[in-house]
Every structure is written in C-alpha cells, then in structure tokens.
Chain A
Amino acid sequence: MEAAAQAERAPRGRLPAWALGLIPLGLIALAIAAFALLGGPGLGERTGPPVEEVSVERTVLRPGTIELTLRNDGPDPVGIAQVAVNDAYVPFTASEGLEIGRLGSTRLDVSYPWIEGEAYAISVLTSSGGTIEAEIPVAAETPEADLGFYGLMALLGIYVGVIPVSLGMLWLPFLRRLGRRWIGGLIAFTVGLLAFLAIDTAIEGLEIAAGAPGAFGGANLVFLGALVAYLGLAGVDAYLSRRDERRPQAAIPSGAYLALLVAVGIGLHNLGEGLAIGSAYATGALALGAFLVIGFAIHNTTEGLAIVAPLRGVDGGTERPAAARLVGLGLVAGAPAILGAWIGAASFNPSMAALLFGVGVGAIGRVIVQIAPQMRDGSGRLLNPTAVGGMLCGIAVLYATGLLVSV
C-alpha cells in the first residue's frame, strides 16, 4: 500500500505534486499580467459614466463643525466638490484630499452652525454632479473620547451587562431546590432565551449592515460572522473533547462547561448590545435615561438565569461551583458590554459592527446546539411538552422585557 501510494505521489518522469499545484497559479498570474499590460483587450471603453458609490461611515458633531467620514464603495474614484447642509452650500475641508480612491476614505470637516436637537440633511456634491446624502436625525454634540467618557461607557456597560447578569445568576440556589422534573424545562427556557437573542442580534446586525459599504460585504458580514463563530466554537469544542478522550465522562458535557458556553454566547451578544448603546450615545441619539438602564437590567437579568440553568440541569445541583467561577462566568457574559460600548462610542464602523453582530449570532447558535440535547425527556424526544413550554416561556420573557428597551 505504502509503496503504491509513494509511486502515485511521484511517478517516474513526471512533475512533483507541488509543481502541478503551482502551474495553474502561475498561469493565472501570467494571464492577469498580460491582460493588464494589454489594457483588457476586446473590452473597449466602459459604457456609461463612472459609478459613484460612497457611504457615510461616521458622523461626528463638534461645535460649529460636522465631520463626515466617507468611504468610496464603488469601482471608480470619486471627487468631492461641494457640500450643502440643509440646502445651503457651506465651507469644508477634506482630511485626505478631495479625491477618494476605491475603498479609500476621507473625512470632511464641514463648517456649520448647527443647533442641538435640530435635524440636518447633508448633501455632498461630487465632481460629476452626483450627490451623496447623509442625515443627522437629531443633532447633539459627539462626546470627546477622553478618560471620563470611557469611564462613563464602562459604567454603562457594568449597568446593563455585568450587574444584571450577575444578579440573574443568583437564582442558582433557587434552581437547586427545584425538582428533577423541572430540569428539562429549565434548559428549554434557556434555549428559548438564546433563540430570541440570536434572532434579535441577527436583525440588528442586518439593520446596521444596510448602512455599511457593500464592497466590504454588507449584510454578508452578518452571515459570515455567524458562520465563522459557529465553526470556530465547534472546532474548539472538538479539539477539547479529543484531548479529553481518555476520560470516560467526556461524552456528556459537564454543567460547568455548558454554563461557560452559554456565558460566551451571551457575552458576544452583549458585545453587540454595548456597541449599539455606545454608538447611539456617541451620536447623541440615546439619552441615558434611568428607564433605559433599568430596562436593560431586567432584560439582561434573564441572561444570568440562562447561564446558571445548565449548572443545575446537568450536575443536579450537587456540585457547588466555587464563587470565583460564578464571578468569572458573570464577567464573561457581561463585561463584553463594556468593551462594546467603548468600541461603539469611540470608532463606530458599520462593517465591523455587522461582523461582530454576526459573530454573536453564530456563537449563540452553537450554544443552542450544544445544550439542546439536555431537553430530551425519558423517551428521548427533543420537542416534548416540557421543552416546548420552556422554550416558549424563555422567548416570552425576553420579548416582554425587550419592550422596555425598544419601542
């Protein structure tokens, strides 16, 4: 066998395998070079005028100035000529010059005496007479990204992420007292919560992607992020279980392991949530009302419940997890909200945000697949009445608490 395989790998008088692999690559490179040198023979001149696709990636308001970050999303360079705010031409300067190459970007500093609370329509006139429209629904000064601001964002992340998740985890003693027959329902409840979060995260990601440059993938980024996160987590999982192959119990994941998985999934979701809050706050579209923070807190408290449910569900509550482990789980699930708020407030980029939301979706999806088998009843049915009831309860709870944060 081995000899035959060797013979096949390097037959006498033939090229080695690596060369066969390289030949097509070389030919492609040659063809591209020739095509470029000859200026695309046979294609002739382009038909129609140059395509201008420019997206407004970021809008920053400072006293007397509106800063627009533009990204050229199309195949041709775009020249910026003039800027009008609310139907009036205004002076401006361009940080990277007036010509934006493909996928390049420039920042326009537009002088304009904007007033807090008013709405503005900005129209950027290109050298070919096309217009790029940007909208400021409610003008408010963009906070300076100084230490105090990052402190505020951290505080916000702690309010909406760490504290509620940790509080939710305090249900663990209560869960321990529940009878065994509740276990499947409890896991199903968690699955319901996660399913709701996955859908919510996906929709939010797609909304953001709608405003992102198509050249970077747009809505594709959400799906790609989801796929990468799902496969990545599955790969890590497979690697870990292969390493533990010798341990006999490894076939059934431990409650602590599932709790960690849930925490990671929720953490990635909260990263996206923090991103949305941070960017909304930075653009002044979000008032830090007590109502909002309380809403998020209640909403996210249920996430804490989802983390501790596997601890009760699988280990039967016999094994008391160390306090440090619980704190760790709380941080894994809640702290990303802080990071998200920082990123969102400091440099919101719709493409990156869409990707991160996708990662959240994929991670949650993977977690659902991991813990769903625990819902099976005695006869091995997955969608038994207890499981379905639990899932519906989970979805209903998040829907109801979700009303507090989005109208």
Chain B
Amino acid sequence: MSERRISRRGLLGAAATVPAAAGLHALVTGRGFGGEPALAGGPNGHGEPGAAGHQGHDGFAHATFAPGRSVDHRANGFDPSELLRDFDYGKTRRLASGRVLREWQIVAQDKEIEVAPGVKYEAWTYNGRVPGPTLRAREGEKLRVRFVNASEHPHTMHFHGIHAAQMDGMPGIGEASGGGQVEPGKSFAYEFDADPFGLHLYHCHVAPLAAHISRGLYGAFVIDPKRGRPDADEMVMVMSGFDTNFDLSNEVYAVNAIGFHYVNEPIRVKRDELVRIYLVNALEFDPINSFHVHANFFQHYPTGTSLEPSELTDTVVQGQGQRGILEMKFPFDGDYMFHAHVSEFAELGWTGFFRVGNPSGMTAAAAAAYCKLPWGGNGGAA
C-alpha cells in the first residue's frame, strides 16, 4: 500500500488540481504545516528552579521520555544521582614492605533493571549496578580485586592498565593459575599495581564481547597521581547505551545508565567551584560518543595520564573504550545542558543538566512566570 501511495504522490506532485476539489484541498493543506503550532511553544524552558526538572513545559524544549513515569531507582538498587560522586576506595592495609595494598570484592550478578521508565532489561552487572563501582586507587599501590562470578554466565574483569598476562581477565590466558574465564560460581583475585595514573576502565572480556559489555559489565577505574589533583567537585560519568531489543543497535543512551536522569534531577554544582568529570565511553555498537557542555569550556586531559591539559574545548569525542578528565568552573548561576553532541544519542537519552547555584535567586513562582515568557527559561543567568 504505502509504496503505491508514494509512487502516486510522486507522479501527481506537479499535476494541476481538479478545480472542484482544489478549494477543499487547499483548505486542508493550508493548515498542514504541522510543525508550526508545536514549535510555537518554542525553544523554551530550562531553568525552573525548584520544579521537577525540565519536563512538562509546553512544546519542545528537548527530547524526553513520556511524562508521568520515572525509573524506580530503589528497585534498580542504584541511583545515578548517587553513582555520580560515588568513588569506591576499597579497603587498605599497609604491607610489610611499606606499600599500601588496596582490596575490593566485585560480584557479577544477573539483574533485571529499569533502563528507561517502564522498560525492563535483563542486565549483567558488577555489584548489582550499572555502571559498576568506580574503583579508585593511588599511583603505585598494590591492588587486589577479588572477583566472584554469581552470574549464570562466564565473565571476567579486564582492567585497562599495566599488568601481567594472567591478570588480564582474558579468556584462555592464565587459566592454569585460575585466571582467564571465570565460570559461574567461581572466583579469581586480580592482582596488579596501580599504574599508570589516569582514568581507565574495566569490563568483561568474555566473547561475544559486545553482548557481555553492553549488558552492563563495565565501570570506571581511577588511579590518582601520587601528588593528587587540585581539590574539586569530582564526578564520574560513564557513557553507555542499552540494546533492549537485541538488534545490535542501542535503543537508549545515557551517562550513568539511566537516560535523561540528569534532566529530571540536574547535577547541582557551586558557582566558581572547580568541577572535575571523569568521563569514560563504554558504549557498544556505535563507534564514537561525545560530550558537550553548554555555555562553558573545559580543560581536557585525555586518559588523565598527564597533569597538563591538552586542550581548552567544549566538546570532546571518544571512541569505544576512550576516556578523559574534564575540568571546568561555572561562572554564572543557572541550568546548563550537557549531552552527547551526537544528536541522536542526546535525543535518545544522553542528555542532562548542571544546575549552578539557585538560578538568579528567583522564587519558584517568579521563575514559573519567567518560564512562560517567549524568551524565558534560560536559567536566569544574571
């Protein structure tokens, strides 16, 4: 049917209309610039202090999930707002040699999580959360990660870093010493030194690789330089997606797993305070991902392996497995969007907001009125 409709339209597009029908036809199509009424609502609407995020404005501020439903973080067992600043330092003790030994226990578990409001997904997780815990150590420490596989599938933890082959979490390598592929019910302790400093990641390396990673088996791995970095409001953002219908492309994109989460609950930061973002790309199926912040620029430290930034920019592109540290300050109060500059990803969930201070100190009522103005809702930066 549809083919035929298109072909007929194509044939007749340039033809004259029948006089008797023309009047009515014109009447019908005259209203037909479908976008207009909705666009009149316009690019409005960020910066409604104290209100429930950025949904619910008329028209099209930006893409969003359907209003009225939200992800049940309690049922999921993790909340992206808490994940954001949750760094797992593990347990430490000093060895006889004087070195610090830092230890973690990570359990692989199969778990159904809500990846978008109303959408359940059979995830594979490290410690029941996606992304897995952000493991954080200091350069030169001795690290031991005890990995327990409580999933129904074989998994590993493959760390990006410098280590011996049998500690690589690579099936087929180091099996003799209990390494390699960790079967369900088995465990293995990965031991290596924290080297080099920077921002790394870990993920499962069992084949099929894309399936194991995209199910949720990834996390950030931070090694601080010996002298540390300047004080900052630090946060981790792991970019990823979910292929909920298993067609080898993602239906939902996000930072820290839940799409549009930081739209509904903007990340609150202080004006003029240094913000440091540990940005990791764990996305599967799409070769590149990106991060862009509005109305600001940041210093970019690729892989975090240098203390000197490589570039002052507002957009950074990352391939699969790439990561970098971003540092910026917000000089104005207000709401500032950040999102993948791959617009498709942004509109499929990978969008959020920073909320700096209390935007212009407006009362909720004043802000609501302000948002209704045609030019309103820029966050009241003043």
Contacts and interface: CB of A to CB of B under 8 A. Distances in A.
How big is the B interface, by class? 35 or more
Given A98-B118, A129-B244, A207-B1, A292 B39 contact: no
Given A211-B1, A285-B6, A407-B7, A81 B245 contact: no
B231 interface: no
B16 to A, nearest CB: 5
A106 to B, nearest CB: 13
A283 B251 contact: no
B116 A81 contact: yes
Contact of A155 (B15, B20, B118): B20
Contact of B118 (A81, A93, A288, A406): A81
A110 to B, nearest CB: 9
A61 B63 contact: no
Given A81-B117, A149-B24, A87 B242 contact: no
A63 interface: yes
A63 B8 contact: no
A116 B31 CA distance: 10
Given A64-B37, A115-B35, A285 B8 contact: yes
Contacts of B12: 286-287, 289, 291-292
Contacts of B348: 84, 87-89
Provide the main secondary structure of the chain B interface: mixed
B15 A88 contact: no
Contact of A64 (B17, B34, B242): B34
Nearest to B62: A88
A138 interface: yes
A143 interface: yes
A125 B63 contact: no
Interface string B245-282: 10100011000000110000000000000000000000
Interface in A292-316: 292-293
A321 to B, nearest CB: 31
B38 A111 contact: yes
A61 B37 CA distance: 13
B13 A92 contact: no
Given A141-B34, A407-B8, A135 B2 contact: yes
Contacts of B252: 125
Interface string B1-29: 11011111111110111101110110111
A41 interface: no
B96 interface: no
A79 B27 CA distance: 38
A131 B35 contact: no
B87 interface: no
A347 to B, nearest CB: 16
Interface residues of A, number: 66
Contact of A207 (B4, B34, B35): B4
A159 B19 CA distance: 12
A127 B118 contact: yes
A131 B5 CA distance: 25
20 contacts: A64-B34, A81-B116, A87-B347, A89-B66, A90-B66, A111-B38, A113-B34, A114-B34, A115-B33, A116-B33, A116-B34, A128-B119, A129-B115, A129-B242, A140-B29, A155-B20, A287-B12, A287-B25, A288-B21, A291-B16
Interface of A: 61-65, 79-84, 87-93, 98, 111-116, 123, 125-131, 135, 137-141, 143, 148-149, 151-152, 155-156, 159, 207-208, 211, 276, 280, 283-293, 405-407
Interface of B: 1-2, 4-13, 15-18, 20-22, 24-25, 27-29, 31-39, 55, 59-60, 63-67, 115-121, 242, 244-245, 247, 251-252, 259-260, 344, 347-349
Given A89-B116, A291-B16, 17 more contacts: A63-B38, A82-B118, A83-B66, A89-B65, A90-B66, A113-B60, A123-B251, A125-B119, A127-B119, A138-B5, A141-B34, A159-B18, A207-B4, A285-B2, A287-B25, A292-B15, A407-B8
